[in-house]
Structure 1
Amino acid sequence: MNPAEFTPSKWTFLFLMLAAMMILMGGAAVAPALPLISAAFPDASETSISLIVTLPALAIAITGLFLGMLSDKIGKIRVLAISVAVFTLAGSSGYYLNSIPAILAGRFILGVGIAGIICTTSALIVCYYDGLTRARVLGYQAAAMGVGVLILETSGGLLAGISWRAAFLIYLLGIVILAGVLLTMREPVRKYEEIRAAPGTTVPAPGEKFPVTPLLLAYITLFMGNLLFFLMPTKFPFLIAHMDAARIMGENTALTAGIFLGIGGCASAILGIFYGRIAERFHRYTILTVTLLAFGLGLCILGFATSLLLVGVAVVLVGIGEGLLMPTILTWIAAVTPRQFLGRAMGGFSVSLNIGQFASALAVVPVIAIAVTYNNMFLAFGGIALVLAVPYALAIIKEKYYPAVRTSAPLPFATRK
């Protein structure tokens, strides 16, 4: 079969979603085992133990762009297969390694594997699907990421109940995914290559350039959105710990925090499932305005929250923001990037995604020093999110009332009138 004739099947879709489940799993799967690992290595510092969770994200930020460019050169399926193999071997290495430095080296290599998975799965979805089908699949991908964190972190916790080493075995799921990649996926071809492959035709590759400016704006939006979102897993439990209302289940406020974070994750996953319908009806500027408003309102409500009802409303709003952010940025990248540059563009996506996570932890330090309380900190970041929504709200007005001044190609999901 000519590669141009390949049509993704339901099995292709399934394994793309399973691969997407791995994207946010990097450190989360073994997080429940950290106290046990600390006890097993009493001479190791708390900082080095915490790197077991955070180091993969650093590796993704460092290597994501390079792996994206590599996938453009040698093929996305090849990079994806190698990345899943690396994910499986490096992820499970903690089961048999006997020192913290060795385990940390394995975690860094794990991050390299995850970076390759992020770049290639997103690029393959863009290559395999078009139009509203693509928007729906990207929404399903965002939902799969959220479900993956929920399921795999829970599974890691159950395995940690056996032993801290057993928690690392959750990464062996990569074996199933690798088999699916090899059996159900084919390398997509560039559109001009399909034309050239036709008998008797010779069409040169178009002189398209890498769209730096529009992608930079998309990356900045993703960076800021992720910076805001990661306040939830890192600082929300501390807010809950200081709330009297959160002691409804006793002094174990961690359980209360976990339940509410799970509610937010469910909201994010549901939005991902319905994202295709949302993208069909609304312009991406509208969606991003709603995204940042949801972040802003949710974080501001946490700033004033004194009851669990308000906390529930807040986490749902933040979950809605995250559920809209990821697929919207991915459809934006797909709309402005020529196919031959998709791997590189998705590499930038993976870098922005993970730098936002790191920057969230750094940005909190000066803000909490000024704000003093966690309520005030969330209120401050909520205000920042509301301010960030303003440029996109103005862009909506410009698109609606001044269409003649557009300088770029029409955007794919225009608002219905």
Structure 2
Amino acid sequence: MLNTHSRNPLFKFAVLSISLVAMIAPAVATTIPAIMAALPDLSPSSIGLLMSVPSLAILLFVFLAPFVIKILGNKKTVMLGLIITLVCGILPFFTENFTVILASRFGLGCGIGLFNSLAYSLIMINFEGDERNQMLGFQGAFSSVGSMFGSLAVGWLLNLNWHASFMIYLIALIPIIAFGTFGPKDKVVDEVEKVNLPKEKAIIQPVVYFYALEIFFIFATWMTIVFQLATLYMERGIGTASQASFVLALNTLAGFLAGLIYGKIRSVLGNYTGIIALIFGGLILVGLGTVTSFLATVFLAITAGFLFSFINPFIFGEVAAVSSPASQNTASTILLIGINLGVFLNPYLIAFIGKVTGSTAINVSMLVCGGLLLVLGLINVLVIKSKKGKGSVKYDY
């Protein structure tokens, strides 16, 4: 049964507001040079650890979140995660102790990991049909807004000092207030009902594991654009690292705009939305590995940001359609494990491609990654044909 407040704009904003901080952990990466200058006794690898350790914590707590949710419920888990994110996020503002800062960065990832899956599953549980697709698109848009805000605010706050940059995590106050006030409440069941009420098992459909594997490969390949665009510019001699940062900001803006219209795109293209995004995404990566013009790379990177924002809502929507209410959190967790592993392993994939091809040039890696996405697009065509032939389980809420 859908939440009766699902069409309330404040309820929708409360659910979406969680995503404002879901992707904001790496936003302070540009503070690395300033921190190195302020703490010269620390090695560059130690400073770099401050930026990578949240990803490790997010991955760990994505695993643990379902157990916390069983104990606390959805709402309390979200609120706990947001409060941890806020406190640990701003802690480096008050100290230069490296151990404390490192612990706070790990804590930031723990907080985000607690509510990460709920940013999706709460949409799956409380909305259905076109409204769910629209909300999943908005979820991506809110993530992009948070990411853009973080990048822009850090750039401005760095003019004060590197400590001030960590105050960007005050943005967590928005979902703390919004979700705490208007977010969905967990159903209260008294002791008598608990005894008589049969427990619904969280049964995960096999197709969920297929999509988790697929989204792992998608992020492992597609993140090459984010991580390696600056290197590509310098290798080709067509731009600078700062220009690459600006292009990636445009990439994020395109993703925000795509998220706003995803619901309409999904209603027109249907099950082929993901296939089109994958195939054209693969062609874009091949293009980036081929072109030698700065303007051409700008166009391709912006188009990539637009198309990539269709992937998450499409896959999460497909999984929601075949998952029962009891299995939504677990299904979301499985997908998020695939995403975080893909992001984490992207550098290793690039290194592996270099060994296999005998070339460490980034354009070669982009060509190979583009080819992998094209293959995934073709596999999805076969999956859709199979689903049409066999049918699929659908759940009404």
1:349 is the counterpart of 2:335? yes
Partner of 1:27: helix, strand, or coil? helix
1:379 is the counterpart of 2:367? yes
Residue 257 of structure 2, aligned match among 270, 294, 309? 270
Letter of the structure 2 residue corresponding to residue 133 of structure 1: E
Does the Cα contact within 8 Å between 1:296 and 1:383 map onto a contact in 2? yes
Q: How big is the shift at 1:397?
A: 3.9
Does the Cα contact within 8 Å between 1:36 and 1:164 map onto a contact in 2? yes
Letter of the structure 1 residue corresponding to residue 225 of structure 2: M
CA shift digits 1:186-230 (9 cap, x unpaired): 32549xx8xx98xxxx98547544215221112112111111221
Residue 245 of structure 1, aligned match among 238, 248, 260? 238
RMSD value, Cα: 2.5
Letter of the structure 2 residue corresponding to residue 67 of structure 1: A
Distance 1:57 1:353 in 2: 11
1:300 is the counterpart of 2:286? yes
Letter of the structure 2 residue corresponding to residue 334 of structure 1: A
Does the Cα contact within 8 Å between 1:142 and 1:269 map onto a contact in 2? yes
Q: Decide whether aligned partners of structure 1 residues 62 and 52 sit closer, same or farther in structure 2, where only a CA change above 3 A counts.
A: same
Q: How big is the shift at 1:374?
A: 1.6
Distance 1:218 1:322 in 2: 15
Does the Cα contact within 8 Å between 1:143 and 1:272 map onto a contact in 2? yes
Q: Decide whether aligned partners of structure 1 residues 341 and 397 sit closer, same or farther in structure 2, where only a CA change above 3 A counts.
A: closer
Name stretches of at least 5 consecutive residues in structure 2 with no aligned partner: none
Match of 2:45 in 1: 47
Distance 2:202 2:145 in 1: 36
Q: How big is the shift at 1:14?
A: 2.1
Q: How big is the shift at 1:74?
A: 2.5
Distance 2:100 2:348 in 1: 26
Structure 1 stretches (4+) deviating beyond 3 angstroms? 3-8, 202-209, 396-399
Does the Cα contact within 8 Å between 1:152 and 1:170 map onto a contact in 2? yes
Residue 406 of structure 1, aligned match among 386, 390, 394? 390
Q: How big is the shift at 1:93?
A: 1.0
1:231 is the counterpart of 2:224? yes
Q: How big is the shift at 1:82?
A: 0.5
CA shift digits 1:318-362 (9 cap, x unpaired): 213321111112112211221122222222233222111111011
Q: How big is the shift at 1:234?
A: 1.2
CA shift digits 1:387-409 (9 cap, x unpaired): 1211112233445xxx4x40532
CA shift digits 1:38-90 (9 cap, x unpaired): 11111212112112221111111111022134224431110000100000001
Partner of 1:222: helix, strand, or coil? helix
Match of 1:327 in 2: 313
Match of 2:377 in 1: 389
Letter of the structure 1 residue corresponding to residue 75 of structure 2: I
Q: TM-score, normalised by structure 2?
A: 0.91
**Matched residue pairs, number?**
391
Partner of 1:230: helix, strand, or coil? helix
Q: Decide whether aligned partners of structure 1 residues 188 and 333 sit closer, same or farther in structure 2, where only a CA change above 3 A counts.
A: farther
1:186 is the counterpart of 2:184? yes
Q: How big is the shift at 1:8?
A: 5.5
Match of 1:122 in 2: 120
Q: How big is the shift at 1:96?
A: 1.6
Q: Decide whether aligned partners of structure 1 residues 407 and 166 sit closer, same or farther in structure 2, where only a CA change above 3 A counts.
A: same
Q: Decide whether aligned partners of structure 1 residues 324 and 307 sit closer, same or farther in structure 2, where only a CA change above 3 A counts.
A: same
Distance 1:186 1:311 in 2: 43
Does the Cα contact within 8 Å between 1:65 and 1:350 map onto a contact in 2? no
Does the Cα contact within 8 Å between 2:134 and 2:262 map onto a contact in 1? yes
Match of 2:242 in 1: 255
Letter of the structure 2 residue corresponding to residue 244 of structure 1: G
1:214 is the counterpart of 2:214? no
Q: How big is the shift at 1:6?
A: 4.4
Distance 1:174 1:377 in 2: 37
CA shift digits 1:228-273 (9 cap, x unpaired): 2211221110101233333xxxxxx122112221222222222211
